[in-house]
Amino acid sequence: MKRAIQFRDIATASALLLGLATAQASVITTPIDQIPLSGAASLSFSGDLLGALDTGKVSVTAYGAAISTITKDNDGFYTGGTVSAPLTTLTYDPANFEIFGMGSTGGLTMTAPILKNVSSGGSLTVTDLRADLSAQTIYATVIGGNGVGTISDMALWHFSGLSSQRYTRYQTIDTSFSGLSVAITGLTITQQGFNAFTQSLGLLTLGKSALMGVTDYGTITSTIEMMDAPNFPWSVTSVPEPSTYALMGLGLAGLVMAAKRRRSA
């Protein structure tokens, strides 16, 4: 009886590993209009980021297909900033409509003037964001001045928060849209991203200090919706990290070793 339990445990662990690997392998990336869905992603600047932009007197404009909404007070200081871009791709599991990532087109361009001890001048464009929800990472194409050039699909930010909420909106009395709003919060810049920002914008001592003080870059809110879908099936989930598979593998190895020891006892 003991041996049967041991081998059953091993078989269960093996099946779980195989099931997780199969589930991850079924995830695909598709143009969003082929599903068909529509959507947009909006980056709302944090107070920290707005303060750093003020320090360097950095201007912000929309790039490509994006639309920007920038507000300032009477003294010319930033009070808010949002850049919205259309979603172009969705990474998901077609078996259960679970979303693992999304991509957008367009972004923003930041231009820094020459400012003593702050910047020697430069520009940086951040465009075509791609959110990997399982890796908790935002990738982007970066186009920088001062010798940076174009870096495609660079890991720009990590994020710590992820939440979602379903909604229904009515365009007319007879036309409704069902959707999912996904909020990504707690954006922190990667080392590669920090280096790209500082070099592209020509940041000097005070400029680098201001950028280092940005502990949260803002919130990315994505909306994904379809027309006349009362049973909207889409949801957000996460894929186990590689470390999870490693831990499960160690657990399986432990079960095998324990079974061998008991058989030899």
Tens digits of residue pLDDT in 217-256: 999 999 998 877 667 788 886 444 444 444 545 554 454 4
Q: Which residues of 3-25 are buried (b: 16+ CB within 10 A; e: fewer)?
A: eeebeebbeebeeeeeeeeeeee
| pLDDT value at residue 67 | 97
* Nearest in space to 31 (alpha carbons), one of 85, 133, 120, 103: 103
Task: Give the DSSP letter of residue 228.
Answer: T
* Angle between helical axes of 205-212 and 191-200 (0-180°, round to 10): 150
Which tokens sit at 157? 């930010």
pLDDT at residue 191 tops 50:
yes
**Dihedral, CA of residue 239, residue 242, residue 247 and residue 251, to nearest 10:** 80
Task: Give the DSSP letter of residue 216.
Answer: -
CA angle (156, 245, 188) in 5-degree steps: 20
| pLDDT value at residue 12 | 47
Largest CA distance in the chain: 82
Q: What's the Rg (C-alpha) of the chain?
A: 23
Work out the average pLDDT over 70-88.
96
* Nearest in space to 147 (alpha carbons), one of 207, 203, 201, 200: 200
Contact 100, 92 (CB under 8 A): yes
Which tokens sit at 87? 């979603």
Rounded Cα distance between 100 and 95, Å, is 13
| pLDDT value at residue 184 | 96
Q: Is the dihedral of CA 25, 31, 34, 39 positive or negative?
A: positive
What global pTM score does this model have?
Answer: 0.78
